[in-house]
Amino acid sequence: MSDDHHPTHTPAPESVAILVHGTYAADKESVGEKWWQSGSRAANLLRSKLPSGVGLIRDSEVFHWSGENSERARSQAAKKLLRHLEHQEQRGIDYHLVGHSHGGSVIWSALRLATLSKKPLAGLRSWTTVGTPYLQHHGRSAWSAGNLVGIILGLLLLRPGFNALRALTSMLANAMAGERVALILPPDDQVGYVAVLRAPILAGIERLGVTVRRSEEYVQLGHYDPFSGMSLAHYFFATTEGLLLLGTVILTAYVFLHLSMLCARPPLESYRIRAEQRLQQRTFKDFGSRWLGIWSPDDEAINGLRATLDISMSFIGKMMPRERVFFTDAINLLSRPYYWLFAPLLNRAVIPAVDAKVKSVVIRAAQGNDRPASTVIAVTPWPVAECQDSCPPLPENVNKKLLSYADQNAQEIAPKLRRLLANPSFATGIAAFGKELSGNELVHTSYFEHAEVLDLIACNIAWATGRDALEASTSQLDPHLAAWFAASKFRNLDRPPAISIREKSPTVIPRRKPNHETAASRVAGSDSAGNAVAKKRAA
pLDDT tens digits along 234-246: 888 888 888 998 8
Asked if residue 289 belongs to a domain, the reply is: no
| Out of 124-133, 328-337, 498-507, least confident range | 498-507
348: CB partners within 8 A, 6+ apart: none
Q: Are residues 365 and 456 in the same domain?
A: no
Q: Are residues 98 and 230 in the same domain?
A: no
Q: Are residues 212 and 128 in the same domain?
A: no
Q: What is the mean pLDDT of residues 278-282?
A: 91
Listed in order, strand segments (DSSP E) in 179-300 are 183-185, 212-214, 219-221, 291-294
Asked if residue 504 belongs to a domain, the reply is: yes
Q: Round to whole Å and give the CA distance between 29 and 38.
A: 9
Q: Are residues 85 and 161 in the same domain?
A: no
Burial label for 296, CB within 10 Å (0-12, 13-18, 19+), is buried
Q: Round to whole Å and give the CA distance between 21 and 107.
A: 10
Q: 168: domain range?
A: 145-268
Can you spell out the DSSP letters for 471-520? Answer: HHHHTTS-HHHHHHHHHHHHTTTTS-----PPPP-TTSPPPPPPP---HH
Asked if residue 191 belongs to a domain, the reply is: yes
> Residue 8: is its pLDDT beyond 90?
no
Q: Are residues 388 and 514 in the same domain?
A: yes
**Residue 88 identity:** Q
pLDDT reported for residue 523: 37
Residue whose C-alpha is closest to residue 457's, from 126, 108, 133, 16:
126
- Provide the pLDDT confidence category of residue 226 given band limits of 50, 70 and 90: confident
Q: Are residues 171 and 261 in the same domain?
A: yes
Between residues 105 and 437, the one the model is more confident about: 105
| Out of 78-87, 245-254, 417-426, 503-512, least confident range | 503-512
pLDDT reported for residue 492: 58
Q: Round to whole Å and give the CA distance between 226 and 232.
A: 8
Q: Round to whole Å and give the CA distance between 24 and 73.
A: 12
Spatial contact of 413 and 441, defined as CB atoms under 8 Å apart: yes
Q: Are residues 332 and 364 in the same domain?
A: yes
pLDDT reported for residue 427: 54
Q: Round to whole Å and give the CA distance between 305 and 303.
A: 5
pLDDT reported for residue 1: 41
Q: Round to whole Å and give the CA distance between 493 and 91.
A: 30
User: Taking every pair of C-alpha atoms in the chain, what is the biggest distance, in angstroms?
Assistant: 109
Q: Are residues 104 and 243 in the same domain?
A: no
Q: Are residues 397 and 373 in the same domain?
A: no
Instruction: Classify the phi-psi angles of 439: left when phi > 0, otherwise alpha if psi is within -120 to 50, otherwise beta.
Output: left
pLDDT reported for residue 534: 39
Residue whose C-alpha is closest to residue 201's, from 254, 251, 140:
251
Angle of helix 479-490 versus helix 451-463 axis, rounded to 10 = 40
Asked if residue 161 belongs to a domain, the reply is: yes
List pLDDT tens digits, range 375-416: 898 999 999 988 887 789 999 999 999 999 999 988 877 676
Letter string b/e over residues 91-105, b meaning 16 or more CB atoms within 10 A of that residue's CB: ebbbbbbbbbbbbbb
Asked if residue 9 belongs to a domain, the reply is: no
For the chain, the domain total comes to: 3
Q: Are residues 121 and 221 in the same domain?
A: no
Asked if residue 428 belongs to a domain, the reply is: no
Asked if residue 489 belongs to a domain, the reply is: yes
Q: Are residues 96 and 171 in the same domain?
A: no
List pLDDT tens digits, range 465-508: 888 888 888 888 888 899 899 888 876 544 433 333 333 333 33
Between residues 422 and 185, the one the model is more confident about: 185
> Residue 211: is its pLDDT beyond 60?
yes
Can you spell out the DSSP letters for 393-449? Answer: PPPHHHHHHHHHHHHHHHTTHHHHHHHHHH-S-HHHHHHHHHHH--STTSSTT-GGG
Q: Round to whole Å and give the CA distance between 186 and 179.
A: 20
> Residue 7: is its pLDDT beyond 80?
no
> Residue 40: is its pLDDT beyond 60?
yes
Out of 334, 360, 378, pick the residue that ends a domain: 378
| Out of 116-130, 182-196, 418-432, 492-506, least confident range | 492-506
Out of 329, 360, 378, pick the residue that ends a domain: 378
* Percentage of the residues of the chain whose pLDDT score is greater than 90: 41
For 248, what's the count of Cα atoms within 13 Å in the CB-facing half-sphere?
22
- Provide the pLDDT confidence category of residue 431 given band limits of 50, 70 and 90: low
pLDDT reported for residue 500: 34
Asked if residue 193 belongs to a domain, the reply is: yes
How much is the mean pLDDT over the chain? 82
Out of 362, 378, 394, pick the residue that ends a domain: 378
Letter string b/e over residues 55-69, b meaning 16 or more CB atoms within 10 A of that residue's CB: bbbeeeebbbbebbb
Q: Are residues 370 and 388 in the same domain?
A: no
pLDDT reported for residue 527: 41
